[in-house]
């Protein structure tokens, strides 16, 4: 899966795990507005992976897009998704949607099993 990982989510460990799993991960845009990240992803044919749920759901609303993968923070260190579980869940999304997630807004937390 081709991914644009939002800067709020883009730890070095997560980027490495996603790349190792074979995902096409673009370098994150740091210090730029969400709309710039959104345009960068759309122009590159990539889904956005983000913890910034509110802003990216609003950007996707009513627009044709390459997909949005949302990670919800639960503010509980025993249940919050870590890079290992995020990468595994993204793998499950890719397996579940072999033709891609264009037009979809999915919650990555739901693929944590």
Parent domain of 66: 2-111
User: Angle at the Cα of 57 (from 52 to 60), degrees rounded to 5?
Assistant: 125
Whichever domain contains 47, its CATH number is 3.40.50
**pLDDT at residue 78 in the model:** 81
Integer Cα distance of 91 and 31 in angstroms = 28
Count how many domains the chain has: 1
pTM above 0.85, yes or no: yes
Q: 23: phi > 0 → left, psi -120 to 50 → alpha, else beta; which?
A: beta
Query: pLDDT tens digit string along 65-108?
Result: 999 999 999 888 888 999 999 999 999 999 999 999 999 999 99
**pLDDT at residue 55 in the model:** 96
Range from 27-31, 40-44, 69-73 carrying the lowest mean pLDDT: 27-31
């Amino acid at each position: 899966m081709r991914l644009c990982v939002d800067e709020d989510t883009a730890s070095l460990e997560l980027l490495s795990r996603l790349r190792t799993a074979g995902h096409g991960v673009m370098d994150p845009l740091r210090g730029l507005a969400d709309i710039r990240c959104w345009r960068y992803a759309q122009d590159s044919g990539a889904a956005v992976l983000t913890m910034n749920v509110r802003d990216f759901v609003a950007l996707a609303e009513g627009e044709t897009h390459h997909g949005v993968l949302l990670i919800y923070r639960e503010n509980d260190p025993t249940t919050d998704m870590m890079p290992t579980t995020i990468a595994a869940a993204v793998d499950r999304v890719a397996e579940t949607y072999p033709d891609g997630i264009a037009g979809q807004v999915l919650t990555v937390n739901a693929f944590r099993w």
